[in-house]
Amino acid sequence: MSVINEHFATIVPHEGESAELLLADIAEQAAACRKCELCEGRINVVPGFGNPEARVMLIGEAPGKNEDKQGLPFVGAAGKYLTELLGYAGLTREDVFIANVLKCRPPSNRNPRPDEIELCTPFLRDQVRAIGPEYLVTMGNFATKFILKTECGITGLHGKPVMAGRFTVYPVFHPAAAIYDRSKRDALQADFEALGERLKTPRSNAR
Ligand code: URA
């Protein structure tokens, strides 16, 4: 397993504070955020949702139309497929925390812009600190490039765990990219099954 020592290595968990309260506080701050123009077009901020004590935190790109409507991550077609993928790892939605790089929907689902990523990702960093997961499962290029600070694409990185500070980063294809691509579906299934195997050993980092 390769190791990177910068960036996320600087994130240490909040000790003794309730992850649930910290996450609620982050969600409140995100709901009030007007730092970029995405706030103009949003119906809801989508801070993230799930188990504050999760061993596995999944990170996607940005909310889509359904997520913007409901204020929850991965509730559309890609979300339904993600629930299926979690099953291959022996996980349910209740076990994990799901967040995105951006907390607001980009218009017409365009790609996140570098300035938006820079302004929005302090929320994600704080969420990682609050939860202190063992695994950061980065879904697709945007999440993987942001977390690993790499220019390498997801095709070469998926399924290969990387130690980043006290977290194991586990890149996978974005579920939406695999809905109509059989080969990516096979890779996703294999990667989530392999994650499930890894989760059979006791967690390697204390909360
Ligand atoms: N795609 C994402 O990256 N995130 C969501 O929340 C939904 C779809």
Amino acid letter, residue 16: G
Q: Which domain CATH number covers 188?
A: 3.40.470.10
Q: Where in the sequence is the domain holding 131, given as residue range(s)? A: 2-199
Q: Which atom of ligand 1 is nearest to the CA of 61?
A: 3
DSSP 97: E
Structure tokens belonging to residue 202: 């006791």
To test ligand 1's pocket by mutation, which of 44, 46, 74, 154 has the most ligand atoms within 8 angstroms of CB?
74
Task: Classify the C-alpha dihedral 23-151-157-73 as positive or negative.
Answer: positive
At residue 205, what are phi and psi to the nearest 5 degrees?
-125, 130
How far is it, in rounded angstroms, from Cα 166 to Cα 188? 24
56 in a structural domain: yes
Strand, coil or helix: 80? helix
206 in a structural domain: no
pLDDT digits (tens, 9 = 90+) for 19-45: 999 999 999 999 999 999 999 999 999
204 in a structural domain: no
Q: Based on C-alpha coordinates, what's the Rg of the chain? A: 16
pLDDT digits (tens, 9 = 90+) for 143-182: 999 999 999 999 999 999 999 999 999 999 999 999 989 9
Number of structural domains in the chain: 1
184 in a structural domain: yes
Ligand 1: list residues with CB < 6 Å.
60-64, 67, 73-74, 78, 100, 176
pTM equals 0.94
- If you measure from the C-alpha of residue 61 to the centroid of ligand 1, how many angstroms do you get, rounded to a whole number? 6
pLDDT digits (tens, 9 = 90+) for 69-95: 999 999 999 999 999 999 999 999 999
Strand, coil or helix: 139? strand
To test ligand 1's pocket by mutation, which of 61, 96, 142 has the most ligand atoms within 8 angstroms of CB?
61
- If you measure from the C-alpha of residue 148 to the centroid of ligand 1, how many angstroms do you get, rounded to a whole number? 19
> What pLDDT score does 197 carry?
98
205 in a structural domain: no
**Plot region of 193 (φ>0 → left; ψ -120 to 50 → alpha; else → beta):** alpha
